[in-house]
Amino acid sequence: MAAVCAETDRREASSALVTADWLAACRRMVDGQREVFAAAPSIAERTVYEGIGEGGDRALAIDRRCEDIVFRELEAVHADGNAFTAISEERGEVGFDAAESEVRVVIDPIDGSLNARRTIPSHCLSIAVAGGGSMADVEFGYVYDFGASEEFVATRGDGAQLNGRPIRAEGPGHGIEVVGLESAEPGWILPAVERLRDRAFRVRSIGAIAITLAYVAAGRLDGMLTARVCRSVDAAGGQLIAREAGAWVEFEDLDLAHTLLGLDARYRLAAGLDPDVLAVMLEAQAQAG
């Protein structure tokens, strides 16, 4: 009974986190980031670096500006009485009265930074809000694709939406027609592509893990895989959107409750419209890298 009560308390605490208007906050983040991109429209303007982010990669100036916008909104959410820990690619872990709450806000200000730098339109803001420290605890997922002006949203137990309309992870039923392949360095992907020979009709590499997961959620892709490990910030929001739409998602062979949200967490990720597609993605992934 104690365990049941503890789980009930945890669920009540985590469900309380979605009472904050996270959707409105995310939309304000998007509006602010649009201004950042408009102010730096050229490749040269976007290829300006500002040190190394906490995630270990060189940080673009536009990454920093977009993250500043995100944290401005997080400060407003905190001022409304919400406590949480923010986990961001550039700043790392930042506490907002974190000792009072298990809530995590997992942020990738620009998923698809290379695309954004080269002015390729497919890049996104990815936000996940969780009631604990694992992928299983994610309650709210948000992915905004700036190239297509598409907003993907999911709340745990309530399904997934694209621009306000419900979506399901359902393709045309023609076998494995289109596969999304991320972390697409040629040497990493060649063995995976070879494994997909005669099993998938076409491969697409979008260049943003969160968008690729959202495309599986919408049935645009039959499956996806990363050729190398990805970070929690890349996948936390998108994986909830995919799962709420009915897709199957796997981080290596880990249970979601053991797939942690910390910035140092690294996992290979695969997803499919059904278990059979997921199995093919995992077979191809095992050959990658």
pLDDT tens readout for residues 147-186: 999 999 999 999 999 999 999 999 999 899 999 999 999 9
Answer yes or no: is pLDDT of 13 > 50.
Answer: no
Q: Please give the CATH architecture assigned to the domain spanning 178-287.
A: 3-Layer(aba) Sandwich (3.40)
Lowest mean pLDDT among 18-22, 39-43, 168-172, 207-211: 18-22
> Rounded distance, CA 149 to CA 102, Å?
32
Length of the chain: 289
Cα–Cα separations (whole angstroms), residue 207 to 171, 259, 267: 21, 23, 17
Quote the CA–CA distance of 7 and 47 in Å, as a whole number.
47
| 145's tokens | 């694709």
CA-wise closest residue to 175 among 86, 269, 272: 272
pLDDT at 52 over 80: no
Q: How far apart are CA 161 and CA 163, in angstroms?
A: 6
Averaged pLDDT of the chain: 92
Q: Do domains 2-166 and 178-287 have the same CATH topology?
A: no
pLDDT, one tens digit per residue, over 110-153 is 999 999 999 999 999 999 999 999 999 999 999 999 999 999 99
Residue identified by tokens 């997803």 is 271
Tell me how far apart the alpha carbons of residues 66 and 197 are, in angstroms, rounded to a whole number.
39
What does 210-252 look like in DSSP terms, one character per residue?
HHHHHHHHTTSSSEEEESS-EEHHHHHHHHHHHHHTT-EEEET
Contact, 123 vs 115, CB < 8 A? yes
* Pairing between β-strand 223-226 and β-strand 178-182 as defined by DSSP bridges: parallel
For the chain, give every domain's residue range.
2-166, 178-287
CATH fold of the domain at 2-166 = Fructose-1,6-Bisphosphatase; Chain A, domain 1 (3.30.540)
